[in-house]
Amino acid sequence: MAISRATIEQITLSSDLIGLVGEYVSLKKKGANWEACCPFHEEKSPSFKVNPAKGIYKCFGCGKGGDAISFVMDIESMSYVEALRFLAKKYNIAIEESASDFKEDQARQTEKESLQIVMNFAQEYFHRNLHEHPDGIAIGLSYFKERGLRTDIIESFGLGYALDQWDGLMQEAAKKQYSLELLEKAGLILINEETHKTYDRFRGRVTFPIYNVSGRVIAFGARMLGSDKNQPKYINSPESLLYDKSSALYGLYQARNAIRQADMCYLTEGYMDVIAMHQSGIAQTVASSGTSLTEGQIKLIGRFTQNLTLLYDGDKAGIKASLRGIDLIVAAGLNVRAVVLPDGHDPDSYAKAFGSEELDKYLKSHTQDFIAFKAGLAAEESAADPIKRAESIDSIVETISLVPDVIKRSVFVAEAARLFKMSEEALTESLNSRIYERLRKPKPRVPSSDEPPVLPPLDEMDHPYTLAFEQQKISPLMELEQGLIRSLILFGHKPIEDDYLIAHYILEQVSELELKTDVLQKLRSEYADRLDFGDDMSPDFFLHHPEELIKRMVIDLCAEFYQLSPNWENKYKIFIPTEEDLLSTALYANILRLKKQHVLEEIKELELILENPSEEVDDMEILKEWKEKKEVEMAISKELGSVMN
């Protein structure tokens, strides 16, 4: 169910951006703005700026920017709707649902909310059993205490116990009048297809709630305590509207702040491994919950840090089976390392045997980059087998070829050459061959500039700005179009004379041009419509635009956090013109440059047609059009020269 526009506006107006950001970083006032080291990337000098008057922030290091809603989306890794609800709760704003929603969306959101309610109920029930029910205390709590878990760790991870009864949870749920259908959709009960009898999914097991990044229970893992060989040791909740196991990580909610502070994340395999690491003071640890590492999980980690260390126990077969994860991490652009514990040890057993400090020392001293790690595994197998040695080298080169950064690839090639005592030239040739072959493969069709980008609904988008612009390279034409829209938004509402605004002038000058960037064209069209109807055209409206995608683009274009000191004029009598002071001359020149670039693009298209003649095309007509465009280009260049002179 969507949140009404009135509620969103109230959330935007009520949000204290300085107070909100100040909960995560230490802000210092500088002039009219505030600054800090960016919470989204590592830096030594502050490039993260907050403008409280406009209610926006911008990092000039990593490029992230937005308003209070965007900040919560970025810092808490929430969707748009989740961020709105987070802020509404924070500022005690009653949420008004929009009456214009599609019924399907309403039903879906209502079901998600209902599932969340029963998952919270189940978590409270399992956790209460652990402390209040005789069986929970004697069996569940005893198990955790035997494993050496402290009370604060048990509470932090919300550990619990599912009674060894067929319908223990169902009986409690009936008291709350929760339907069996809802319990089944949440994965809490099972229905026998033959007998149609219902029973609890989790029975006679300790439970490990799985939280999303905002701290809501979305699923459970459960460990058997008996010795029934017919039952799996661990079982997990099935996927649901709340739980997508390929995009969930156990322990991330508890680890997220530690990951940010350490700028590094340990990735291990099981629930108890994560808990043992946290109890040992190494809280920047998460687990993939028994599933193979996925792109979604890597992307989730990437929101908190670019440095990921895989933590393995001494099981060689398990290590080989999970090597594919390294390639996925490398391809995602993260820095990946690995560390292997001694044979027979996992984080829990090592900490118990040698203590927390020794575990920390071991991890720091035995961590390797992925080249050395894979090379070490290969050396054990291929010492006397040239074919296996070649296969190992081949595997490492394949991994290096997935690294997006050219400089990092070069460094890794040099390291691999050193370890395998080979020439860099041979490895580079193999590397380039792989990259070339990958580039030759047909790519998915990219929509043309006149097609709107196909984006999922905002409440399902991880980061709308990234989705739209991440893969676009900034061309000269796009730069000029961005400059035009920047001038339109910042100064369009200002008058030139009487009722004639700067916006009238800009829009008249470029009326025949179709902007090649979809969002910029949409912005221009909306601005023109608002101008016609006399609506609000102030920069503030667009800086807090209802559409997250447009808002982020506008903030990126218009964010100005560096201000000239008044001392230049007041004390030193040096007048430095502002962007607005130079607008009368610069705007005309920039419009000419934009027109020229559009003409140049058209000339290129015509030249392409002339280079590839076809019976269907009249070459003479194309040549005539080409000459006309060249004359226009020359006229604009001449005019530009006179303006610049």
**What secondary structure does DSSP assign to 523-573, as a single string?**
HHHHHHHHHHHT---SHHHHHT-SSHHHHHHHHHHH-------THHHHTT-
CA atoms of 46 and 355, how far apart (whole Å): 38
Please say if the pLDDT value at position 316 is more than 70.
Answer: no
**How much is the average pLDDT of 345-368?**
89
The dotted CATH code for 104-243 is 3.90.980.10
Please say if the pLDDT value at position 177 is more than 90.
Answer: yes
Joined together, the tokens standing for residue 242 give: 């709340």
Q: What is the pLDDT of residue 561?
A: 44
Question: Minimal CA–CA distance to 209: which of 136, 112, 125, 147?
Answer: 125
pTM of the predicted model over 0.75: no
Quote the percentage of the chain above a pLDDT of 70: 85
Q: Which residue has the tokens 């440095």?
A: 307
Q: Which ranges constitute the DSSP H helices of 95-208? A: 103-132, 134-135, 142-146, 151-156, 168-175, 180-185
Instruction: Kindly state the helix (H) or strand (E) to which residue 578 belongs, with its residue range.
Output: none
Does residue 213 contact residue 253 with C-beta atoms inside 8 Å? yes
**How much is the average pLDDT of 62-67?**
83
User: Picking from 26-35, 272-281, 375-384, 632-641, which range would have the lowest pLDDT averaged per residue?
Assistant: 375-384
- The half-sphere exposure of 33 on its side-chain side, counting CA atoms within 13 A, is 21
CA atoms of 164 and 206, how far apart (whole Å): 10
Q: Write out pLDDT tens, residues 209-255.
A: 999 877 889 999 999 987 777 888 999 999 998 898 888 999 999 99
Residue type, 60: F
- CATH-assigned architecture of domain 261-440: 3-Layer(aba) Sandwich (3.40)
Please say if the pLDDT value at position 283 is more than 90.
Answer: yes
CATH superfamily for domain 5-90:
Zinc finger, CHC2-typedomain (3.90.580.10)
Domain ranges of the chain: 5-90, 104-243, 261-440, 464-563, 583-644
**Residue 260 to residues 24, 50, 140, 410: CA-CA distances in angstroms?**
10, 20, 33, 28
Q: What is the pLDDT of residue 162?
A: 97
Joined together, the tokens standing for residue 519 give: 């969002």
Residues 6+ apart with CB under 8 A from 210: 217, 218, 219, 220, 221, 237, 243, 248, 250, 289
Please say if the pLDDT value at position 340 is more than 80.
Answer: yes
Joined together, the tokens standing for residue 551 give: 């808002």
Q: How far apart are the first and last CA of the chain?
A: 58
Q: What is the pLDDT of residue 254?
A: 93
Instruction: Kindly state the helix (H) or strand (E) to which residue 412 belongs, with its residue range.
Output: helix 406-420
**How much is the average pLDDT of 114-119?**
92
Give CB contacts under 8 A, 24+ apart, made by 278-282: 278/153, 278/156, 278/157, 278/251, 278/254, 279/148, 279/149, 279/150, 279/153, 279/351, 279/356, 280/347, 280/351, 280/356, 280/359, 280/360, 281/356, 281/360, 282/356, 282/359, 282/360, 282/363
CA atoms of 564 and 307, how far apart (whole Å): 37
Question: Minimal CA–CA distance to 336: which of 287, 248, 265, 269?
Answer: 265
Q: What is the pLDDT of residue 130?
A: 95
Q: Secondary structure of 92-127 in the HEC alphabet?
A: CCCCCECCCCCHHHHHHHHHHHHHHHHHHHHHHHHH
Q: Write out pLDDT tens, residues 409-436.
A: 889 899 888 888 888 888 988 888 888 7
Matching fold, domains 104-243 and 261-440 = no
**Residue 110 to residues 115, 120, 170: CA-CA distances in angstroms?**
9, 15, 22
Q: What is the pLDDT of residue 572?
A: 46
